[in-house]
Structure 1
């Protein structure tokens, strides 16, 4: 009897100790998650990113209980102590809402991105990839995954990307609402650009924005002389060829930019998005309206819901839409551009969630990752106040409007810096060009 009593007592003591350890572990896990700034996400399936091997581009994810062991490596990825876990059926994590955060939340895996292996090879001696600039080389990922497609999305990927606000991820969104379109996006059959046949192996690109600095610039012939020409937004060329050229190889857009361009620039002769023969279209998945647009576009149907309901997306591409020449930018690429090159102070403000780089910025970085040399035209420069907002505005001089969702000054300074470091060639007006522009304005005023 005494032996039984002793055994019972030992069992109760052991159970009490186990319960104490469990409570202590849960409390410390909560403290750890709170210390990361995860706020109301206690109990949700917060994940951290771990690289599976040094040679593979595939990655695995672990739960929040392992996040406290993570430390950033020199490559910007995360090292996580491995722990054997029983297999689990993955399901979407609870929705993470932007309203839960007063500024951009910082996750352990914030600066970890999908990367392709191997990176695009180049034989071009002048390639920007050969830059000796240490700061650029440290930030630049030549094999960053550029495009989103159905083969690149999984439940694990969904759960990771759900931690980032759009267009950098799927925060605020329901799995079924987004997957309806993402699972339709085909894997690109070919790279966005390749060296021209018979060339020296260099891919030379011009990226043309819409700034008034191009008005009267006579840069058209120089722009069209490049292997490829990138444009975005209201890319008006008819009637402006002498200043901006007339070729478009790659057109970058959102559903909103396509529709808004028709609304606001029709009076300047804009009737449709560029639709050169064999043009390639690249879409920025800015928000829900873009995923709704994508579903209609890829199915060849009208948009079924949202602000573009009953619109037929394919009509906006003037017969040049082709599945093999259509690409969707990956959220990791968009976040990488913001984090490593344009980390605006706006991200620490209450309106952090609406901030993102401009379409022009994303287009320029797309060119930096697909071309060997990049020349930028129509981007903001130090003397931007001397020019009209858009190059189509010949008869008036409107001022640049600084909206809260973009940091134009930060972008302007970056373009200048990249130019000074010989990573891009930024078109800037000479004194002679400025005088010619002033004369043109005076002549226009006399005519009126």
Structure 2
């Protein structure tokens, strides 16, 4: 082979290698740009609108740094405990609280069973209150379409399926309002005193023999793997930030709604507020007391916040006639 020809071949090979390098670098940066663009513009969920990307809601009140559920890895602060202990005149110390919570998590899951957000999934939630305005609403089929259906306390479904549906994935309760739940339903404990933790420990095992201000079940049927407990610090956060300290503490229904804002992508609200006569009645009861109010809770203010969230299109609020903008 001629020396000149060999030299030209080597030069061409060098140019080819150099060209391939530049092409590879260009492809790499182009792919990196598209990947970065996709990652930056990818929605956190598959819903039309995702609560977790609502910057106004996040900046205003829905503080995602607050842990809605209690875990053994999250310890509340003593000032949070001191607020919480006043709710039902708890007399025992912070140390007793911590010991009781540690014992609680020896029986029940250390981490709550929460559906995690995914870009290809829409977590739809129905929060179903117990208001008498659900009567003759015919919202049952609509409620049952949601992936998560959160119900309150003793709110029954049998006989009222047309209006309230029959699906329940989460039932929020405290000992004095507790009912048995099936193996597919999450028992969500709203604790108001140390005894509430002790009650669920014993009612799920050997039986509870203590007393409260109202009769409580000595035994409860619930799937231990689906037990979740709301963080007392979260309860304080709802009272401080959302209600501005109004009322002694938030109602179970209002806390359940704010909880849904933290664990759902879309939230629809049913059965909140007074009935057509202005009474805070339950849909399954024949009202005898014609002057039922909201007790220690700031019911009117809570209702106004829900209505405001609906006006801002953060939630859909269904009443006897749907109110949403």
TM range (shorter): 0.7 to 0.9
Match of 1:247 in 2: 167
Match of 1:46 in 2: none
Deviation for aligned residue 1:194: 4.1
Alpha-carbon deviations, 1:161-207, whole Å to 9, x = none?
A: 343233779974224543442112325345423469xx941100001
Match of 2:302 in 1: 411
Is residue 2:313 matched to residue 1:422?
Answer: yes
Is the 8 Å Cα contact of residues 176 and 216 (structure 2) preserved in structure 1? no
Is the 8 Å Cα contact of residues 167 and 285 (structure 1) preserved in structure 2? no
Inter-partner Cα distance in structure 2 for 1:143 and 1:365: 14
Aligned equivalent of 2:249, options 327, 349, 356: 356
Three-state SS of the structure 2 residue aligned to 1:340 is: helix
Is the 8 Å Cα contact of residues 303 and 312 (structure 1) preserved in structure 2? yes
Is the 8 Å Cα contact of residues 301 and 312 (structure 1) preserved in structure 2? no
Is the 8 Å Cα contact of residues 162 and 170 (structure 1) preserved in structure 2? no
Is the 8 Å Cα contact of residues 167 and 331 (structure 1) preserved in structure 2? no
Match of 1:284 in 2: 190
Ranked by relative contact order (alpha carbons within 8 Å, sequence separation 6 or more), the top structure is: 2
TM-score (norm 2): 0.74
Residues 152 and 127 of structure 1: CA distance in aligned 2, closer, same or farther (over 3 Å)? same
Match of 1:367 in 2: 260
Residues 310 and 337 of structure 1: CA distance in aligned 2, closer, same or farther (over 3 Å)? closer
Is the 8 Å Cα contact of residues 71 and 111 (structure 2) preserved in structure 1? no
Residues 202-221 of structure 1 mapped to structure 2, 5 A cutoff: 202-221=122-141
TM-score (norm 1): 0.55
Residues 341 and 158 of structure 1: CA distance in aligned 2, closer, same or farther (over 3 Å)? closer
Residues 12-411 of structure 1 mapped to structure 2, 5 A cutoff: 122-125=44-47, 126-131=49-54, 134=56, 137-153=59-75, 157=76, 159-166=78-85, 172-175=91-94, 177-186=96-105, 187-194=109-116, 200-258=120-178, 272-273=179-180, 275-297=181-203, 300-307=205-212, 313=218, 315-317=219-221, 320-322=222-224, 324-346=225-247, 355-380=248-273, 384-385=276-277, 389-393=281-285, 399=290, 401-411=292-302
Is the 8 Å Cα contact of residues 218 and 242 (structure 1) preserved in structure 2? yes
Unaligned 5+ segments in structure 1 are 1-120, 259-271, 347-354, 432-448
Residues 228 and 304 of structure 1: CA distance in aligned 2, closer, same or farther (over 3 Å)? same
Residues 221 and 403 of structure 1: CA distance in aligned 2, closer, same or farther (over 3 Å)? closer
Deviation for aligned residue 1:418: 0.6
Inter-partner Cα distance in structure 2 for 1:129 and 1:168: 30
Number of residues paired by the alignment?
276
Deviation for aligned residue 1:146: 1.6
Alpha-carbon deviations, 1:203-239, whole Å to 9, x = none?
A: 0000101001110000000000111100011211000
Alpha-carbon deviations, 1:337-378, whole Å to 9, x = none?
A: 1111112444xxxxxxxx111110111111111000000100
Aligned Cα root-mean-square deviation (Å): 3.2
